[in-house]
Amino acid sequence: MNYQPIEDYGLIGNMRTTALVGLNGSIDWFCHPRHDSPSIFGAILDSEKGGHFKIESTAVGDHHKQFYYPETNILITRFLCDAGVGEVIDFMPLSNSNGRNVLMRNWIIRQVRTVRKEITFKVECYPAFDYGRATHTTFSSLSGVVFYCDENPCEIPDPNDPNAELNALQCQLFELVTSVPLTINQRGAFAEFTLKEGETVTFIFKPVSSQPTQNSPAQKAKPTTPSITAQQQQPPQPPENADTLLPEQLAHLDKTAEELFEETNAYWRKWLSQCVYRGRWRRRVERSALALKLMTYEPTGAIIAAPTTSLPEHVGGERNWDYRYTWIRDAAFTVYALIRVGFTEEAKGFMGWLEARCQELGEGGSLNVMYRIDGRLDLKEEHLDHWEGYKGSGPVRIGNGAFDQIQLDICGELMDSVYLYDKYGDFISYDFWTHLRYLTNWVCDNWQRKDQGVWESRGGEKDHVYSRLMCWVAVDRALRIAEYRSFPAERSHWIDVRDNIYEEILEKGWSEERQAFVQSYGEQDLDAGCLIMPLVFFMAPSDPKMLKTIEAVRKSPRKGGLTANSLVYRYSPLNSKGESTDGLEGEEGTFNLCTFWLVEALTRAGSTNSRLLEDARRIFEEMLTYANHVGLYAEETGASGEALGNFPQAFTHIALISAAWNLSEALGEK
């Protein structure tokens, strides 16, 4: 099977969608027009049927390097070989850069150049619309080729959207613009070309979009979908006033691409200049912030957990999930991380999205675990049985069956992020508070329910200690907000509930046998989620119970712990009887988020024990070595150091930022 390691990819994007670019110069994942839309290139999940857009050197045995242009999300893939040096510069221009309009949206620009000597390149653009379920026809055009999907793979979520027809058309008709002569085959288009030192050619993969006629507002433009059949020999006629490039414009294509490069470069550097972290791990923090920014959805303020689906937590196994949605939990942690290092606008955008979800609460109901990035809940899980999955890891899932689980912890993460935003970002409105007050009362009435927990177990509901902990956080932060802002609240009732939760966790969540806080009441299994207790001020980091929990987690799995060298498992998927604890077969890697949580717990405990602070620094710096070549992390790290799970993972980069900040402070840095 022709698959690259998960860690061999870099990410580009434009805060609407993203694309994964491999070390071999192949775009193997690209969804359009949004993060959670069907894929057009999906070779990372099926190397034969998934579709790809590859540009590579034809030299035998060439060596590849990949890196980001400094302080940006512009990716450079370099080919080093005996024949010379070539490179591909990949980026997505931003529709808001220099006043560029919606017509520039979701362009993928690939600049190919020879740096030294003479290099022959090969290009293959083989789209596979709608996760490879829809067929398409490829036609020659005056400026390259046109790919016409035989059926529209995208739904129109809002029929009242003035751009609905335009958005639908942009899912069906794409153009590959280039001055390189292309040959068409059944899969798409390909070519081979040679560039001498200093020469450059440009490829732009873009939706064919309709633009308004002169003196006509955009919402009045009525694109007409061309009628095309496979038998037609002439290229399809684009919609009236379509945004296609004319032959004479091809002569300026490289110049246009260079202008967009400069604009995109300026945008990212200006955005990153807001970062206030200046510690010793500055570049790592900045790269994590840049990755998190790509996982936002600018039109609504939503933040996705990861830009991919079904990358396995265990190669060949069934632990494959769709993470292209907005988890209340993940997004709340993201807001915390971004506020901490100075990115308040993203926090403000997410608060707007969150307030809209709170306004949708039904009588007696709470928030859902996750939503689509536009706030919808149509997340029914499906299997793409026609795809084999990454290295045969099936099923390939779209949608996520955990969306309607009971996960009580999300209220705590939400309330904590609102508390921090209200304190360090901007004041929340009274109307927003009324929804938060309702939600707090819901927690007070429901905190003793069993749930599936933070790790979304499919093995049944339990009394999870982490969930109880975050219910305590929800009530505690609501009390703090009410006090800080003098908002009306059921203070005495909330205080009683908060105290009851605290005492119950100490009574039922602590195991005398294990000398540690455990995963759920009445059981002896550990859970790395308990490491967050001092981070949310539930327990002092130097409390004997907390220190013993840290000690228990740090033991190796052979000795009943969760740590392999310095890398932490979130829990053991098998109990002491060898039975599955989460309802799934197979094992998984260490959980990167939990490793950073251990760093934070040790950092805080290090305030009274310098040895623990040194341990925190050592583990943190060891964990940095498990990032990929461009500083990105997946969800997990495998036994051979390989990346596992969806990639890149927001949770991991959130935790890196938080750990770096707190560790820098503990070491006396500003």
Give per-residue pLDDT as tens, 454-500. 887 767 889 999 999 999 999 999 999 999 999 999 999 999 999 99
Residue 207: name the closest of 30, 75, 89 by CA. 30
| Tally of helices (H runs) and strands (E runs) in the chain | 15, 28
Per the omega criterion (within 30 degrees of 0), is the bond before 127 cis? no
State residue 235's pLDDT score: 43
Number of alpha carbons in the 13 Å side-chain half-sphere of residue 120: 5
Residue among 281, 332, 385 nearest 664 (CA): 281
Spatial contact of 314 and 587, defined as CB atoms under 8 Å apart: yes
Angle between helices 282-294 and 253-272 (to 10 degrees): 120
Q: In whole angstroms, what is the distance from residue 646 CA to residue 27 CA?
A: 16
Instruction: Write the single-letter amino acid at 645.
Output: G
- What is the phi-psi region of residue 301: left when phi exceeds 0, alpha when psi lies from -120 to 50, beta otherwise? left
Residues in the chain: 670
**Is pLDDT of 213 > 60?**
no
Helix (H, G, I), strand (E, B) or coil at 154: coil
Is pTM beyond 0.75 here?
yes
CB 488 within 8 A of CB 494: no
308, 295 contact by CB (below 8 A):
no
For residue 401, pLDDT beyond 90: no
Question: Are the beta carbons of 302 and 353 closer than 8 angstroms?
Answer: yes
Distances, alpha carbon 497 to alpha carbons 172, 503, 540, in Å? 54, 10, 20
User: Does residue 124 contact residue 49 with C-beta atoms inside 8 Å?
Assistant: no
Residue with tokens 């050197």: 57
Query: Under a CB-based contact definition with an 8 Å cutoff, are residues 643 and 628 in contact?
Result: yes
Do residues 461 and 450 lie in contact, with contact meaning Cβ atoms separated by under 8 Å? yes
Preceding peptide of 223 cis, ω within 30°: no
What average pLDDT does the segment 517-526 reach? Answer: 94
The torsion angles phi and psi of 496, rounded to 5 degrees, stand at -60, -45
Helix (H, G, I), strand (E, B) or coil at 593: helix
pLDDT tens-digit series, residues 322-334: 999 999 888 778 8
Contact 306, 623 (CB under 8 A): no
Q: What is the average pLDDT value for the chain, to the nearest integer? A: 87
Residue partners of 107: CB distance under 8 A and separation at least 6: 92, 93, 204, 205, 206, 260
For the segment 324-351, the average pLDDT, to the nearest whole number, is 87
Residue 584: CB atoms within 10 Å: 17
* CATH annotation of 6-271: 2.70.98
Please tell me the distance from the alpha carbon of residue 434 to that of residue 436, in angstroms, as a whole number. Answer: 5
Per-residue pLDDT reduced to its tens digit, 243-267: 445 445 566 788 889 999 999 999 9
CB contact set of 135 (below 8 Å; sequence gap of 6+): 129, 149, 150
* Residue 150 pLDDT grade (very low, low, confident, very high; cuts 50, 70, 90): confident
What DSSP string runs through 568-611?
A: E-SS-SB-TTS-BSSS--S---EEHHHHHHHHHHHHHHTTS-HH
Indicate the domain borders of the chain: 6-271, 274-666
User: In the structure, what pLDDT confidence band is assigned to residue 377 with cuts at 50, 70 and 90?
Assistant: confident
Task: Report d(CA 225, CA 209) in Å as an integer.
Answer: 11
Q: Report the alpha-carbon distance of residue 344 to residue 293 in Å, rounded.
A: 12
**Whole-number pLDDT of residue 82:** 86
Residues 207 and 239: beta-carbon distance below 8 Å: no
pLDDT at 162: 52
pLDDT of residue 581: 60
Question: Which residues, 6 or more positions from 283, have their beta carbon under 8 angstroms from its beta carbon?
Answer: 631
What local confidence, expressed as pLDDT, does residue 484 receive?
Answer: 94
Of 457, 363, 364, 362, the residue nearest 409 (C-alpha): 457
What CATH number has the domain spanning 274-666? 1.50.10.10
Q: What is the pLDDT at residue 157?
A: 52
| C-beta of residue 9 within 8 angstroms of C-beta of residue 28 | yes
Residue 611 CB contacts under 8 Å (≥ 6 apart), including other chains: none
Which two tokens mark 37? 């839309």
Residue 186's Cβ-count burial label (10 Å; 0-12, 13-18, 19+) is: exposed
**CA 312 vs CA 294, 567, 588, 638: distances in Å:** 22, 19, 9, 11
Residue of 538, 483, 531, 550 lying closest to 505 (CA atoms): 538
Q: What is the pLDDT of residue 166?
A: 56
Widest pairwise Cα distance in the chain: 78
404 and 368 Cβ atoms separated by less than 8 Å: yes
